Amino acid sequence: MESLHSTDVVVIGSGVSGLMTAISLYPRKVTLISKKKLGEASSSAWAQGGIAAAIGKDDSPHIHFQDTINASSGLNEEQVVKFLTENAVDIIYYLENIGVKFDKDEANNFIFSKEAAHSRRRVVKINGDNSGKEIIKILVQKIKSLNNVTILENVTIDEIVAENEKIVGLIGRHLGDNIVDNFTFFKAPHVVLATGGLGSMYEHTTNPRDIYGEGIAMAARAGASLIDMEFVQFHPTGLDIGLDPTPLLTEAIRGDGAKFIDENDNYFMEGVHPEKDLAPRDIVSREIQKLKDMGHSTFLDCRHFNEKKMQENFPTAYNYLKKANIDFTKEKIPITPSAHYHMGGVFVNDAGRTSIEGLWACGEVSSTGAHGANRLASNSLLEAFVFGKKIAENINNSITTSVKERKFNFQQYLPKEKTSSKIRAKKYIWQLRCTMQDLVGVYRNEQKLKKALIEIDRIEREARDLSAKLKDMVLISRLITYAALQRKESRGAHFRSDYPNKSKDFLFRKKFILKDMMNFLNKKEYFEKIA
Ligand code: SIN
């Protein structure tokens, strides 16, 4: 069964970027597509950190700008960072206006927390480390009050259809039914991709399980330019208790005095970086991974923390530890670097436009250049808000040419997924995630990356009929690995042990399309003998 859904704008994704864009498009006719029930499908809802904004008396947008540039190891688009940091304070007041209750002291002053590589306490939060959950709750209330937005829940988009680098529409389906041919063609002159990042491409991740880069995969197949795909940020403090996804212990705990420690009680960040435990994430994650590779165990030490304060300030972390039976006042907390945020993605210009006319991208699926090679903590929700608003303004101001009526061959988009192959797919998905963690993770080199490409080929070959998810994951793993092979230097979150320094020859953001990668892979040079 095929059906047609026509609207002015389709927004795919219901995290902060999708919700903010859809809300700001008022009074335009918008369809918001959510893979799950609204409010349940995004990384945003899991965000503990909060929003960075230069509200404090000792702070300014310029200092916030400078910290963002310093943390990110070059490659920023400076005008984007300027725009982001200059608009941060307005976003906080906008959110207060629509009902977000930021943490404040008795005198009604914001309480700021400190996170890595910020020179000031400037992260505002809601109910301690529950920021994402509370923000999403208010945005969902807001969007439900608008009469211009049609909300479609439990719907997934399989393909973006574009012709001559112009959007034509989307192919999607309802996930609830077991009918595989219940496709809908979404016809809209504007589509906003807000599908989030790709953390679940890795064995250890702080992202929800179904965040694996599907938006990037669809955009790539439609011919959109991608950029900076090699830059995957690992969060140093995933709680290492064998859970998937890895529960996040917010960096703000270190902002309040927690320290890294090994099994011999060495505070191992001493002497590694002047900021010690609050050094930029890439540096801390590498130090932890190095120790792990040498056979050490790595922990967070909160034994000097007051239990009540921990419960008040970090209720999410507190509950994780309680559930895991870890008494943090007596025991060290096991941690491991976990894929957390992707700085690369679908290339957008400073208006949020992709290289395909009518296709926009917002938040983690996009790459604006705001985060360079290593994102400053708590700048990502900020980017989603600032760009969501901007994209909506740009769409509202643009003259829209209507999409031509046409007939589609839906059959080519039918998923290959069958119940029996789903079990097999799970096995291959896990193999892919382990490959990415081991060979395309915190430490990379040419040998590892070539091995990864060979392994991805094997998985694709053996899995045969790829499920829609596995097909996307194979593509995303190749895109990251290909980009990592090209960048023969170390910068920010991308570290190559065979090229351990920054090189001025690579002081540029690497933009490419799927065809470029396929041309490279088809030469099969990575099959050259690897020692
Ligand atoms: C954290 O709370 O440590 C994560 C914040 C972020 O990634 O921005």
> Residue 464 has what pLDDT?
78
Specify whether 433 is catalytic.
no
Tell me the average pLDDT across 118-129.
95
In a domain, 206, yes or no: yes
Backbone dihedral angles phi then psi of residue 195, each to the nearest 5 degrees: -95, 0
- The torsion defined by the Cα of 276, 236, 378 and 207, in degrees rounded to 10, comes to 180
3-state secondary structure of 414: coil
- pLDDT for the residue numbered 406: 62
Please identify which of the residues 120, 173, 281, 444 carries the catalytic annotation.
281
Q: How confident is the model at residue 524 (pLDDT cuts 50, 70, 90)?
A: confident
- Return the number of other C-beta atoms located less than 10 Å from residue 398's C-beta: 13
Q: Give me the pLDDT at residue 115, please.
A: 92
Tell me if 64 is assigned to some domain.
Answer: no
In a domain, 104, yes or no: no
Whether the pLDDT of residue 164 is over 70: the answer is yes
Long-range CB contact pairs, 118-122, < 8 A, 24+: 118/52, 118/67, 118/376, 118/377, 118/378, 119/63, 119/66, 119/67, 120/54, 120/56, 120/58, 120/59, 120/63, 120/64, 120/67, 121/56, 121/255, 122/52, 122/53, 122/54, 122/55, 122/56, 122/59, 122/64
Residues 27 and 136 both lie in one domain = yes
Q: Residue 485 — φ and ψ, nearest 5°? A: -70, -40
| Nearest CA owner, ligand 1 atom 7 | 377
Q: Are residues 146 and 6 in the same domain?
A: yes
Note whether 137 and 39 are same-domain residues.
yes
Predicted confidence band at 526 (pLDDT cuts at 50, 70, 90)? confident
pLDDT at 418 over 70: no
Read off the pLDDT of each residue in 404-430 and give the average, rounded to a whole number. 68
Question: Could you tell me if the CB of 380 is within 6 A of ligand 1?
Answer: yes
Tokens 């090679």 -> residue: 373
Give the pLDDT confidence score for residue 140 in this predicted structure: 97
The rounded mean pLDDT for the chain is: 93
What is the SS3 assignment for 52? strand
pLDDT at 49: 86
Tell me, in angstroms, the distance from the centre of ligand 1 to residue 251's CA.
Answer: 6
Residue 417 reports pLDDT greater than 90: no
Say if residue 502's pLDDT is above 70: yes
The pair of three-digit structure tokens given for residue 244, joined into one six-digit string: 């998937």
Domain boundary among 337, 353, 386: 337
On whether the CB atoms of residues 59 and 124 are closer than 8 A, the answer is no
Three-state DSSP class for residue 301: strand
In a domain, 273, yes or no: yes
- The beta-strand segments (E) located in 343-419 are 345-347, 359-361, 366-367
Q: Is there a domain that residue 405 lies in?
A: yes
Q: What is the CATH number for 328?
A: 3.90.700.10
User: What pLDDT is attached to residue 405?
Assistant: 61
Determine the pLDDT at residue 419.
47
107 falls within a domain: no
Q: How far is the CA of 381 from the centre of ligand 1 (A)?
A: 10
**Residue of 260, 268, 251, 346 lying closest to 302 (CA atoms):** 260
Q: In the listed set 384, 414, 444, which residue is the last one of a domain according to the structure?
A: 414
Beta strands in 56-147 (DSSP E): 112-113, 123-124
Same domain, 456 and 397: no
Neighbours of 222 (CB within 10 A): 23
pLDDT range class, residue 421, cuts 50, 70, 90: low
**Whether the bond into 245 is cis, omega within 30 of 0:** yes
> Which residue in 36, 33, 16 sits closest to 157, CA to CA?
33
What is the mean pLDDT of the segment spanning 338-362?
98
Q: How many domains does the chain have?
A: 3
Q: How many CA atoms lie within 13 A of 188 on its CB side?
A: 26
Q: What is the span of the domain harbouring residue 315?
A: 245-337
Ligand 1 close to Cβ of residue 277 (< 6 A): no
Higher local confidence (pLDDT), 316 or 182: 316
Name the H helices within 398-513. 419-439, 446-463, 468-486
Distance 427 CA to ligand 1 centre (A): 30
CA–CA dist 362, 164 (Å, integer)? 22
**What's the token pair of residue 317?**
């972390």
What pLDDT is stored for residue 402 in this prediction?
63
3-state class (DSSP) for residue 23: helix
Taking CA atoms only, the protein residue closest to ligand 1 atom 4 is: 49
Instruction: Decide whether any atom of ligand 1 lies within 6 Å of the 206 Cβ.
Output: no
Instruction: Find the mean pLDDT for residues 28-54.
Output: 92
- Same-domain pairing of 217 and 259: no
Let me know whether 183 and 311 are in one domain.
Answer: no
Query: Which of 50-59, 201-210, 346-355, 394-403 shows the lowest per-residue confidence on average (mean pLDDT)?
Result: 394-403
| Lowest-pLDDT choice from 76-90, 354-368, 386-400 | 386-400
**Among 251, 260, 314, 320, which is best to mutate for testing ligand 1, by the most ligand atoms less than 8 A from CB?**
251
Candidates 124, 250, 256, 278: which one to mutate for ligand 1, based on the most atoms within 8 Å of Cβ? 250
Q: Report the C-alpha gap between 469 and 472 in whole angstroms.
A: 5
My answer on whether omega of the bond before 27 falls inside 30° of 0, hence cis, is: yes
Pairing of strands 166-174, 259-262: unpaired
Residue 127 burial (10 A CB sphere; 0-12, 13-18, 19+): middle
* pLDDT (average), residues 353-363: 98
Summarize the confidence of residues 415-422 as an average pLDDT.
Answer: 57
Q: Are residues 31 and 145 in the same domain?
A: yes
User: CA–CA separation, 75 vs 69, rounded Å?
Assistant: 9
Q: What is the CATH number of the domain that holds 141?
A: 3.50.50.60
pLDDT at 527: 77
Mean pLDDT in residue range 240-261:
96
In a domain, 118, yes or no: no
| Residue ending a domain, choose from 391, 414, 437 | 414
H helical segments located in 197-306:
214-221, 252-255, 281-293
Q: Is the pLDDT of residue 231 over 50?
A: yes
CATH of the domain at 463: 1.20.58.100
40 and 167 share one domain = yes
CB of 113 closer than 6 A to ligand 1? Answer: no
